[in-house]
Amino acid sequence: MPEARETAVYTHGHHESVLRSHTWRTAENSAAYLLGVLEPRMRILDIGCGPGTITADLAGLVPDGHVTGLDREPAILERARAVAGERGLTNTDFAVGDVHALDFPDDTFCVVHAHQVLQHVGDPVGALREMRRVTRPGGFVAVRDSDYAAMTWYPPSPGMDDWLDLYRRVARANGGEPDAGRRLKSWALAAGFTDVTATSATWTFSTAGERAWWSGLWADRTVASAYAEQAVDGGHATRRRLREVAGAWREWGERDDGWFSVLHGEILCRKEV
């Protein structure tokens, strides 16, 4: 197996405000571009599975197959196992692992999936090579990542402009690439894929409930998560500035005309036969 290991720091961590977002994700709202190629007997690897809601959805869509959820953090895998157990799934398992050095033989999986992973890794092209290695000929590597510079909102907010600038600086200092969505196709080609379908999709938050949820989790994340600690420890912001940015999020969330869109890049790469 390759000896490469992750060198980037995961910007978000696993604070409750982060899990509030991650557990909202489903195959429908986060992997729709992949669903059309799934077949009942497929074996799937879900990299960076986190609390396992997408993993469980995928397992339900391949009832005669199997889904392995992989994450770097053992504690979060307990949450994923609990989700699978609550749904009565018997075709899942979970393992600790690193996308840069997957502990699986060549040509193991029909689909290798990663949602919001490559923006956080130190070597996204190397990660895609590893994903390609463990995919069977004719199988698929499916990746979706947001693109922070392409996020947009209304009404204008200088405090949220500061949030975007701050987040991108912290993420890059951690070794990641927050504007990953636009780069996915380029990274896939550099990793050796020749059959790449590149698409995009959005999450949009506009109703009162959506605004309250989205603004609340980002306000909390800005002052209380691993990201907040990294922002302060890295000299990117003071605690006072973080509180001001969190306040800007909450002010936006209370606006009846508030609207926020998150752009995602998506790639579906077929491994040559």
Over residues 134-177, the pLDDT tens digits come to: 999 999 999 999 999 999 999 999 999 999 999 999 999 999 99
Average pLDDT score over residue span 100-113: 98
DSSP letters, 207-253, are SHHHHHHHHHHHHHHHHHSHHHHHHHHTTS--HHHHHHHHHHHHHHH
DSSP 134: T
Average pLDDT score over residue span 79-90: 97
Q: Residues 48, 71: contact at Cβ < 8 Å?
A: yes
Segments of the chain assigned E as strands: 43-47, 66-71, 92-96, 109-115, 135-146, 152-154, 195-205, 259-270
User: What is the pLDDT, as a whole number, of residue 23?
Assistant: 86
Return the minimum-mean-pLDDT range out of 28-32, 39-43, 176-180, 222-226: 222-226
* CB crowding 15-40: b at 16 or more within 10 Å, else e: bebbbebbeebebeebbebbeeebee
Residues 6+ apart with CB under 8 A from 19: 50, 51, 79
Q: Under DSSP, is residue 174 helix (H, G, I), strand (E, B) or coil?
A: coil
Look-up: residue for tokens 């393992």?
95
Q: Is residue 64 pLDDT above 60, yes or no?
A: yes
Q: Is residue 55 pLDDT above 90, yes or no?
A: yes
- Which pLDDT band, with edges at 50, 70 and 90, does 19 fall under? confident
pLDDT per residue over 217-257, tens digit each?
A: 999 999 998 899 999 999 999 999 999 999 999 999 999 99
DSSP 271: P
- Which pLDDT band, with edges at 50, 70 and 90, does 16 fall under? confident
More confident residue, 3 or 272: 272
* CB crowding 155-177: b at 16 or more within 10 Å, else e: eebebbebbbebbbebbebbbbb
Q: Is residue 29 pLDDT above 80, yes or no?
A: yes
Strands 195-205 and 259-270, by their bridges, are antiparallel
User: What is the pLDDT, as a whole number, of residue 217?
Assistant: 94
Residues 6+ apart with CB under 8 A from 215: 249, 250, 252, 253, 254, 258
Q: Residues 101, 6: contact at Cβ < 8 Å?
A: no
Please provide the average confidence, as pLDDT, over all residues in the chain: 94
Per the structure block, which two tokens stand in for 36? 């059309």
Average pLDDT score over residue span 200-207: 98
Q: Residues 180, 145: contact at Cβ < 8 Å?
A: yes
User: What is the pLDDT, as a whole number, of residue 2?
Assistant: 47
Task: Report d(CA 150, CA 87) in Å as an integer.
Answer: 36
